[in-house]
Amino acid sequence: MNESVNGVAFIILAFASIGGAVGMLTTRNIIHAAFWLLEVMVAVGGLYLLLSAEFLAVVQILIYAGAVSVLMLFVVMLTLRRREDSVRPVEVSIGGGIMAAVFGTIMYVAIARYGDRVGEMPAVVPDTAALGELLFTRWALPFEVASLVLLVALVGAVWWSREED
């Protein structure tokens, strides 16, 4: 007996995330781009729910949709002097387009050839209690290193952004 992902929900969330990413890249207003990014993050959180990764879905909403988007908006507002500065000219890069097209083609070929080796979704559902237990036993050392990384990043960010005297 295998589990399966709800196809309708997947298609809605896939369209929401790709549409948000396209909106982020095509909008001329940098504030709108930040809100499109927020929409992508929420849609990806929904995809995590479909994959029964409930803890990661909540963390995704908290960290990306909450903290990162607000941080982006703060920096945009701190670095704009006038409201009109947020509207930018259309930026098209041919080199970037070629690079992305080549990368996308390679990915398409790789997924078309090897993507279905993994097969069906197993019936065993990962659960959050087991995730917490593993995080503090088997992954305890990486967890501590991660907290150290965050501490150093925090101090570094304060150091860099302080007012020069």
Show contacts with other proteins in window 62-91 (CB under 8 A). 63-64, 67-68, 71-72, 74-76, 78-79, 88, 91
Which amino acid belongs to residue 114?
Y
Which residue in the set 12, 87, 121, 140 belongs to the binding site for other proteins (CB under 8 A)?
Answer: 121
DSSP code for 29:
B
125 binds other proteins per the rule CB under 8 A: yes
Host H or E run for residue 55: helix 54-60
- From residue 118, alpha-carbon distances to 7, 33, 56, 121, 134 in Å are 18, 36, 22, 9, 24
The distance of closest approach from Cβ of residue 152 to other proteins in the complex, given in angstroms and rounded to an integer, is: 8
**Tokens 């990043």 label which residue?**
153
Q: How far is the CB of 84 from other proteins (least distance, A)?
A: 14
Among 32, 58, 61, 126, binds other proteins (CB under 8 A): 126
What is the closest distance, in whole angstroms, from the C-beta atom of residue 89 to other proteins in the complex?
9
- Asked if 51 touches other proteins (CB under 8 A), the answer is yes
Are 20 and 46 a contacting pair, CB within 8 Å? no
Q: Does 48 bind other proteins (CB under 8 A)?
A: yes
| Binding of residue 44 to other proteins (CB under 8 A) | yes
- Which tokens in the block code for residue 71? 């941080």
Contacts of 136 (CB under 8 A, 6+ apart): 143
Rule CB under 8 A: which of 135-154 touch other proteins?
A: 135, 139, 142, 146, 149-150, 152-154
47: contact with other proteins by CB under 8 A: yes
Structure-token pair, residue 41: 């993050």
